[in-house]
């Protein structure tokens, strides 16, 4: 049975959505539209001291090759990759060409601004070495720059480590990522001092956990055509607020294209408080965490033509993700939600995606705590959401005090049997949700409006 809701509301719903966001869109455009403010547009630019905006389109740029052989820098570990990044960064940026090979990492490769990582596709594989976790044998205070391990076997200078402890005052978990830079027996110096107390009473531990590629306070970074393997079978979990195959913090203007991120015991690709991030044609699969994680405060993410498979959640809009676009992605076989959106994730568009075989819900609007924290003014259109959850699965579940959301021209389909499955469920507290020209087939209940039940 086919069910279409509010068949005349499509153009109205679409128009109302863009009225909600028009003001910000105009403001964003005017900030980058060259020549529209009365100044003449730049023609025939020259390289000029301090001018990062108007750069000539050079035919060749600085490139360094890295590989097990026949490369300018030869090796197959994190150290040779890091040396290449640091070399091109020293001269203001360039390309690190990663030649075919398997590169085994004992520490993260820390990226730099204006640096491009260009791999050789499936033939350039960065693999995380197995992790080891031990307890701290001596208390370290927040100002210390050293730790003492109960058992130092398996740890070496240059290793990336993750220190974790329970805060003695509130019981919360504290996490610090560091590098071991000197040692005497079981004592290791850290590259940076601690800023939390790592006491034995807090069950403090040290584990060789880190992201494969990482960066903080960077801009203008490109990662292309490389394969990242988190080796989850031999590594403990480190969640996407701290790591992933790729983990970025406080960055801007980042592009990731044709990247394969697989098998991390945590997230695939995670970026926190990072703006204008582009993720295109990437394959993020088989993680214990999230496939794509536009993290807290990230503005204007673009996620297009990606495949997110067999993760906990395929695409997770974290806190305060705004003015983003998730378009033409295939989100298949994720154990929880295909796509999840919630805490102050406003003014986003989720369009033309295939959300298939989700373990619980195809698209989830999380409930959050109060109206000010829900996901408002989002447009969901032209998606295909098929076979969501178990017998009580839901294709689109709008929870909490969410409002001003448009669900238009989506195809929601259940090809198994109706059972207790629901096409669209509107929670009892939700506000104005517009449904327009959606096709809903094969469910026990096409639209469950819980507001009417109360």
Of 53 and 386, more confident? 386
What is the distance between the alpha carbons of residues 370 and 351, in angstroms, rounded to a whole number? 27
DSSP summary character for residue 129: P
The reported pLDDT for the residue numbered 191 is 98
| Domain extents in the chain | 63-129+210-453, 133-207
Q: Given this model, what pLDDT does residue 26 score? A: 38
pLDDT tens-digit series, residues 133-165: 999 999 999 999 999 999 999 999 999 999 999
The pLDDT tens digits of the residues spanning 254-277 come to 999 999 999 999 999 999 999 999
The CA-atom distances, in angstroms, between 165 and each of 108, 130, 134, 203 are 21, 21, 12, 6
Which of 22-36, 47-61, 139-153, 246-260 comes out lowest in average pLDDT? 22-36
Residue 255: closest CA among 277, 236, 273: 277
- Complete edge-to-edge strand list for the sheet that includes strand 283-285: 2-4, 439-441, 411-413, 384-386, 354-356, 330-332, 307-309, 283-285, 260-262, 227-229, 124-128, 101-105
pLDDT at 11 over 80: no
pLDDT band, residue 62 (cuts 50/70/90): very high
Whether the per-residue pLDDT at 301 is higher than 70: the answer is: yes
Residue 20 has pLDDT above 70, yes or no: no
**277 vs 167, which has greater pLDDT?**
277
pLDDT in tens, 309-325: 999 999 999 999 999 99
Kindly state the DSSP code that residue 19 receives in the 8-state scheme: H
> How much is the pTM?
0.92
Instruction: Domain 63-129+210-453: give its CATH code.
Output: 2.160.20.10
How many Cα atoms within 13 Å fall on the side-chain side of residue 438? Answer: 25
**How many angstroms separate the Cα of 143 from the Cα of each of 192, 196, 197, 324, 383?**
10, 8, 8, 40, 52
What pLDDT shows up at residue 169?
82
Per-residue pLDDT at 9 exceeds 90: no
Q: What percent of the chain has pLDDT over 90?
A: 89
Q: Which of 295, 297, 298, 288 has its CA nearest to residue 268?
A: 288
């Amino acid at each position: 049975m086919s069910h279409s809701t509010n068949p005349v509301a499509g153009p109205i719903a679409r128009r109302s959505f863009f009225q909600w966001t028009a003001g910000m869109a105009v403001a964003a455009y005017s900030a980058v539209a060259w020549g529209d403010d009365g100044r003449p547009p730049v023609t025939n630019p020259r390289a000029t001291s301090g001018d990062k905006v108007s750069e000539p389109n050079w035919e060749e740029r600085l490139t360094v090759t890295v590989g097990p052989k026949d490369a300018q820098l030869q090796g197959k570990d994190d150290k040779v990759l890091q040396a290449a990044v640091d070399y091109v960064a020293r001269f203001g940026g360039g390309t690190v060409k990663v030649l075919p090979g398997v590169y085994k990492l004992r520490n993260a490769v820390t990226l730099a601004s204006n640096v491009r990582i260009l791999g050789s596709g499936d033939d350039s594989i960065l693999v995380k070495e197995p992790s080891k976790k031990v307890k701290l044998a001596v208390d370290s205070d927040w100002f210390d720059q050293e730790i003492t391990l109960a058992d130092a076997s398996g740890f070496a200078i240059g290793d990336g480590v993750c220190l974790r402890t329970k805060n003695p005052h509130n019981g919360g978990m504290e996490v610090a990522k560091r590098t071991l830079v000197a040692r005497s027996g079981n004592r290791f110096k850290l590259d940076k001092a601690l800023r939390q107390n790592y006491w034995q009473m807090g069950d403090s531990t040290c584990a060789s956990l880190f992201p494969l590629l990482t960066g903080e306070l960077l801009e203008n970074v490109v990662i292309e055509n490389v394969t990242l393997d988190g080796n989850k079978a031999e590594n403990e979990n480190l969640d996407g607020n701290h790591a992933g195959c790729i983990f970025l913090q406080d960055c801007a203007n980042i592009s990731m294209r044709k990247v394969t991120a697989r098998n991390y015991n945590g997230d695939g690709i995670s970026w926190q408080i990072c703006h204008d991030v582009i993720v295109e044609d990437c394959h993020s699969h088989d993680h214990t965490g999230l496939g794509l994680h536009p993290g807290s405060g990230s503005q204007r993410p673009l996620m297009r033509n990606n495949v997110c498979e067999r993760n906990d959640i395929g695409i997770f809009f974290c806190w305060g993700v705004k003015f983003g676009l998730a378009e033409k992605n295939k989100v298949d076989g994720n154990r929880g939600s295909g796509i999840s959106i919630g805490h102050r994730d406003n003014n986003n568009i989720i369009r033309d995606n295939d959300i298939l075989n989700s373990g619980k819900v195809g698209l989830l609007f999380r409930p959050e705590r109060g109206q000010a924290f829900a996901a408002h003014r989002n447009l969901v259109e032209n998606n295909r959401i098929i076979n969501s959850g178990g017998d009580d699965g839901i294709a689109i579940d709008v929870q909490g005090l969410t409002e001003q959301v448009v669900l238009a021209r989506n195809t929601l389909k259940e090809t198994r049997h109706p059972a207790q499955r629901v096409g669209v469920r509107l929670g009892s507290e939700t506000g104005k949700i517009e449904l327009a020209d959606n096709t809903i087939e094969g469910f026990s209940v096409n639209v469950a409006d819980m507001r009417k039940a109360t």
